[in-house]
Structure 1
Amino acid sequence: MENSTSKRQPSSIGQRIDSQRPIVGLRGHLAANVDMDPHQHPRGQLAYASEGIIRVYTDAGSWVVPPTQAVWIPGNIVHRTNAEVCAELRHLFVDPAYLHSLSDQCSVVEVSPLLRELIMKVADFGTEYLPNSPASRICAVILDELQALKPSLLHLPGATDRRLQRVMKTMIKSPNAETSLNELAAKVGASERTVARLFSKETGMTFQQWRKQLVLQEAVDRIGKGDAVIDVALALGYRSPSAFVAMFRKSLGKPPGQYFSDTGTRIEF
């Protein structure tokens, strides 16, 4: 799933401490197959791409982020970002003085049309706006919106157990493979029961639930890059596009056509 070919240094905006500017914005561009170096900063970050699809990685797992969603990253969490298609970035960074009212867990969140417009405005403000200005009042509204964000389902939990990490890595390399849990466990020198228990303990999901989440992430990524729905369905092991569309709708609440039309992305069937 990862095929980055070059590295890029992250912005230093997240390092800036200034409680009079509760939110500062970043407007930028991330080229395809460019991987941001792992980094952390005291400001919390709402990682958002107004165009394209980005992936965000932390020790807790990975997230696929289309333009209808964003990833909330609390302060001082090591993370990195990449894009498999060109992405227009509009990140927000929240000063540590305001993080106590926000989640201390990474999560994908739904971006409402209102929040999207607010993000775009603040990203254009940058870092130099006056306290008690129109810009600062918009930031206050955003802080309220951030407290009310609803988690999305596009999260793939990670693991700390090395055996489970190896199983996950094998699955990520071949998300369409129908290798059984018993076969995967044998490859890492563990029993099927042990690996099943590790999935439940470390991810809060069963093996099958985690695999389904992996397929869902891969589907969103591939369709977002322009692959036809029928090709994605068959490549990910579905015998018919209708079965794939049913899974997609059940998981994300919308069929692929509607889901991606909401992002402004044209898709092929």
Structure 2
Amino acid sequence: MTTPLIRPELVTSPDGPFLAAAELTQRESRAVSSHAHARGQLMGALSGLVSVGVKRQQWVVPAIHAIWIPPHCEHSIRSHGPFSGWSVFIAEHRCDALPREPRSIRTTPLLRAAVRRAASWNGSLLDVQQTRVAEVILDELAASKAELLGLPSPEDARLVRITDALVCNLSDTRRLEQWAEWAGLSPRTLSRRFVAETGLSFAQWRSQARLLRALELVADGVSVTTIALELGYENVSAFIDMFRRATGTTPGRYAAAGGSSVD
């Protein structure tokens, strides 16, 4: 049984403080089945990586990032190996000025410091000083910019067949025309349906799937060479270039920032 991250009444009850926070560090993987609650949840990682399933999408939460889950939004959670992170639960009536849709954000030092302070509170009504800290958290979330760390799923059965095959083997380098023939539709239909159902082109979707898998492997401490081969890159340099364009840094530096180590 998964140990509750925070006292259940602080999540389910409209009473109590408008903001409650908790931190968690554990060596084993953590999995929480699909659920929803009236409070909005901002969940961040300090080290390791978490996958969150929301609205036909899979989101990843690598270190120094967080995902915002609005009130009543059904979601599931799974960590990949050892994990250290935090969650903030915000009363529904204080979420009106916050993003209406789930989003992944890069956390700021100010946000992380405020959350750490809030995680030390005992769950009682907030005093004046605590309220100021809580308001900082709300302000930082409201001002945050969305980061592309989600992977939307198509609905067309033919497209699902393709995406399922790709996720199982991201080293598969078949071109769009070859995938279309394999799935029994024209290249033009495949291209048009992919954009209509996911908002991404086929090439963009595959690149995003590779990036999210790379983040998981980096968090697990897998070597750069092994990751490049698993994801179908011709050489390590090509993989590092992709990773740098997507994240602004190299896999090694990204891992170091999250508390992992990559050879």
Task: Give the structure-2-normalised TM-score.
Answer: 0.90
Q: Return the match for 1:213 from 183, 208, 213.
A: 208
Cα displacement (A) at 1:209: 0.5
SS of aligned partner of 1:100: coil
SS of aligned partner of 1:163: helix
2:158 equivalent to 1:163: yes
- RMSD across aligned positions (CA): 2.1
Residues 17 and 247 of structure 1: is their aligned pair in 2 closer, same or farther, counting only changes over 3 Å?
Answer: same
Cα displacement (A) at 1:264: 2.7
Residue of structure 2 in register with 1:17 after alignment: 14
2:50 equivalent to 1:82: no
2:134 equivalent to 1:136: no
Residue of structure 2 in register with 1:109 after alignment: 105
Residue of structure 2 in register with 1:184 after alignment: 179
1:14–1:45 Cα contact (<8 Å) kept: no
2:55 equivalent to 1:56: no
Residue of structure 2 in register with 1:244 after alignment: 239
Residues 76 and 187 of structure 1: is their aligned pair in 2 closer, same or farther, counting only changes over 3 Å?
Answer: farther
Which letter maps to 1:14?
A: V
Q: Across the two proteins, how many residue pairs are aligned to each other?
A: 260
Q: Deviations over 1:229-268 (max 9, x none)?
A: 1111122111221111111111111111222222232221
Q: Deviations over 1:47-96 (max 9, x none)?
A: 11222111111124111111210011111111101012121231011111
1:10–1:36 Cα contact (<8 Å) kept: no
Tell me, in whole angstroms, the C-alpha distance in 1 between the residues paired with 2:250 and 2:38.
Answer: 38
Residue of structure 2 in register with 1:196 after alignment: 191
Residues 188 and 42 of structure 1: is their aligned pair in 2 closer, same or farther, counting only changes over 3 Å?
Answer: farther
Q: Deviations over 1:140-170 (max 9, x none)?
A: 1111111111222222122333332332222
Cα displacement (A) at 1:10: 6.2
SS of aligned partner of 1:125: coil
> What is the identity percentage for the equivalent residue pairs of Structure 1 and Structure 2?
31
Task: Give the structure-1-normalised TM-score.
Answer: 0.88
Tell me, in whole angstroms, the C-alpha distance in 2 between the residues paired with 1:72 and 1:10.
Answer: 19
Residues 31 and 59 of structure 1: is their aligned pair in 2 closer, same or farther, counting only changes over 3 Å?
Answer: farther
Cα displacement (A) at 1:30: 5.5
Q: Return the match for 2:120 from 121, 124, 127.
A: 124
Please say which of residues 131-140 and 70-79 is displaced more in the overlay.
131-140
Tell me, in whole angstroms, the C-alpha distance in 1 between the residues paired with 2:253 and 2:183.
Answer: 41
2:45–2:62 Cα contact (<8 Å) kept: yes
SS of aligned partner of 1:101: coil
Cα displacement (A) at 1:181: 2.9
Cα displacement (A) at 1:104: 1.0
Structure 1, unmatched stretches of 5+, are 1-6
Structure 2, unmatched stretches of 5+, are none
Which letter maps to 1:28?
A: L
Superposition map of 1:221-260 within 5 A: 221-260=216-255
